[in-house]
Amino acid sequence: MSKRLFVVFSLLIIASMVLSACATPTQAPPPPPAETAAPAATEAPAAPAATEAPAAPAATEAPAAASGEPIKIGILAPLSGANPTFGVSTRDGSLLAIKEWNAKGGVLGRKIEAVIADSQCEADPAVNAANKVIDQDGVKYIVGEVCSKASIPISEIVNEKKVVQISPTSTNPSVTVAQDGKVKPFTFRACFIDPFQGTVMAKFALEKGYKTAFIMFDQGNDYVRGLAEFFEKAFTEAGGQIVGKETYTSQDTDFSAILTKVAESKAEVLFLPDYYPIVNLVGAQAKDKGVTAVMMGGDGWDSGDLDVKAADGGFYSNHYDPGDTREIVQSWVKNYQTEYGGATPDALATLSYDATNLLLAAIQAAGVDDPDKVKDAMAALKWEGVSGTITFDANHNPIKSAAVIGVKDGKKSYIGTVNP
Ligand code: PHE
């Protein structure tokens, strides 16, 4: 792996030099060509309200009649709480997949109904939301959660109640693997995992010539703590040195004491693998304090609400880039923009779309509305998603590449892709 990464990164460095030389923003995809343009963005319907099934779209051909009771898909998303853009994107990506399936006649000849619950990216609300959709709404299939901290407790419930779960974006290894090292049979994910993501950023930092790093992390967040550990391991194993490590809590808003230590440590990299609201706070305070370390992080930075000024000069790993020129990516970006008033889908929306498609394809492949059969069909599935081709390893993790994104002068730019 390291040799391959080395080669890829050498190419990346060149690619990034070329990219910054021509300073072409890759974030904004080209507008759709006029002849294929879908209805004006302003006419796009808003996301359906919670627990409402999306309205069937106007199809040009009559879809096959969907009969019988609808198949319910629970969408557990953090619609409130600290990271609301995560929930909105996840809900919207999933609803668009369901809408497309319904337009083609549903699944197993039955209509698909979305049951949305706010799981807040936290353990207790996530447990309540999972129990509610399973026990009260009769959901047998769940897309969610976004955050590992919420997906892990949900996975305990679904494996006890035999409900299939696919998390679009939870990257901590413990989401799909129990403490005894056994795979959780009913839990899957549509994303890569943090040991890979941590290695990608560690090698990226070293390839850029940085040899020292300071790590800041939230001890109480499975994802943040895990990614910090995986980065440290990969960075030190490849010859880098960790010159400082400090913890904080999700309630903290003043990071000046830690940032003083970062400045004193003269670290070249400040690794901050948290979600965007913390990155916004830390980044702004670091700039005020004159911290010169280059900030780096993981997929948690991915949000339309990432403060690009605060994160300026930073880099993070992510699951996809909307500027990717592959046809499947560009038609997805276009469809999403048409549906949601011109919004560009972030990684969460994209992975939620892929996860929902995977789940519905597994139900279709199983040929029966039975979670026990669907989980087996899912484990054997190969699906070409927008975020890459997905097949599951023995631990129900897809093997996928990561995109490295740089934040510079108000723009997020694609730097390159790293394969496992
Ligand atoms: N990977 C994060 C977690 O496991 C969730 C996340 C994914 C957040 C992608 C933003 C973008 O908690």
Q: Are 333 and 185 part of one and the same domain?
A: yes
Euclidean distance between CA atoms 400 and 277, whole angstroms = 27
Whole-model pTM: value is: 0.85
Residue 285 has pLDDT above 50, yes or no: yes
User: Which of 318, 333, 366 is at the close of a domain?
Assistant: 318
Ligand 1 centroid to Cα of residue 11, in Å, is: 27
pLDDT tens for each residue of 158-210: 999 999 999 999 999 999 999 999 999 999 999 999 999 999 999 999 999 99
Residues 187 and 199 in one domain: no
Q: 70: CA distance to ligand 1 center in Å?
A: 30
Token output for 132: 């509610």
Same domain membership, residue 262 and residue 228: yes
pLDDT at 26: 32
CA 374 to centroid of ligand 1, rounded, Å: 25
> Would strands 164-167 and 294-297 be described as parallel, antiparallel, or unpaired?
unpaired
Q: Are residues 311 and 202 in the same domain?
A: yes
Query: Which range is least confidently modeled, 5-9, 47-51, 409-413?
Result: 47-51
Q: State whether 170 and 206 are in the same domain.
A: no
* Residue 77 sits in the same domain as residue 186: yes
Q: Which residues pair with 165 in a beta bridge?
A: 142, 187
Tell me, yes or no, whether 105 lies in a domain: yes
> Ligand 1 centroid to 371 CA: how many Å?
26
Name the pLDDT band for 68 (thresholds 50, 70, 90): confident
Do 179 and 219 sit in the same domain of this protein?
no
148: Cβ below 6 Å to ligand 1? yes
Same domain membership, residue 75 and residue 186 = yes
Are residues 201 and 179 located together in one domain of the fold? no
Ligand 1 centroid distance, CA of 36 (Å): 34
Does the pLDDT of residue 124 top 60, yes or no? Answer: yes
Give residue 65's pLDDT. Answer: 54
With respect to residue 166, please indicate whether it lies within any of the assigned structural domains: yes
Minimum CA distance residue for ligand 1 atom 4: 170
Range of the domain at 299: 195-318
Report if residue 246 sits inside a domain: yes
CB of 151 within 6 A of ligand 1: the answer is: no
What ligand 1 atom has the least distance to the C-alpha of 346? 11
Tell me, yes or no, whether 411 lies in a domain.
Answer: no
Residue 333 lies in a domain: yes
Cβ of residue 83 lying under 6 Å from some atom of ligand 1: no
Contact 299 CB / ligand 1 (< 6 Å)? yes
132 vs 45: CA distance, rounded Å:
28
In a domain, 22, yes or no: no
What pLDDT sits at residue 138? 98
CATH number at residue 173: 3.40.50.2300
- The reply to whether 313 and 336 lie within a common domain is no
Pick the range with the lowest mean pLDDT from 31-45, 110-124, 325-339, 376-390: 31-45
Co-location of 188 and 226 in the same domain: no
Work out how many domains the chain is built from and give that number: 2
Q: How far is the CA of 209 from the centre of ligand 1 (A)?
A: 27
Q: How sure is the predictor about 3, in pLDDT bands with cuts at 50, 70 and 90?
A: very low
Verify that 259 and 373 share a domain, yes or no.
no
Residue 252 inside a domain? The answer is yes
Return the residue whose CA atom lies nearest to atom 5 of ligand 1. Answer: 147
For ligand 1, atom 7, which residue shows the shortest CA distance? 169
Q: Which residue type sits at 114?
A: A
The C-alpha atoms of residue 119 and residue 155 are separated, in whole angstroms, by: 13
Check pLDDT > 60 for residue 12: no
Residue with more model confidence, 149 or 50: 149
Q: 3-class secondary structure for the chain?
A: CHHHHHHHHHHHHHHHHHHHHHCCCCCCCCCCCHHHCCCCHHHCCCCCCCCCCCCCCCCCCCCCCCCCCCEEEEEEECCCCCCHHHHHHHHHHHHHHHHHHHHCCCECCECEEEEEEECCCCHHHHHHHHHHHHHHCCCCEEEECCCHHHHHHHHHHHHHHCCEEEECCCCCHHHCECCCCCECCCEEECCCCHHHHHHHHHHHHHHCCCCEEEEEEECCCHHHHHHHHHHHHHHHHCCCEEEEEEEECCCCCCCHHHHHHHHHHCCCEEECCCCHHHHHHHHHHHHHCCCCCEEEECHHHCCCCCCCCCCCCCEEEECCCCCCCCHHHHHHHHHHHHHCCCCCCCHHHHHHHHHHHHHHHHHHHHCCCCHHHHHHHHHHCEEEECCEEEEECCCCCECCCEEEEEEECCEEEEEEEECC
Residue 3 lies in a domain: no
Average pLDDT, the chain: 88
* Nearest Cα residue to atom 12 of ligand 1: 147
For the chain, what percent of residues have pLDDT higher than 90? 81
| Least confident window among 59-68, 148-157, 213-222 | 59-68
Question: Is the C-beta atom of 403 inside 6 A of ligand 1?
Answer: no
pLDDT in tens, 79-116: 999 998 999 999 999 999 999 999 999 999 999 999 99
Q: From ligand 1's centre to the CA of 172, what distance in Å?
A: 9
Q: 66 falls in which pLDDT band (50, 70, 90)?
A: low
Task: Please say which residue of 318, 346, 372 terminates a domain.
Answer: 318
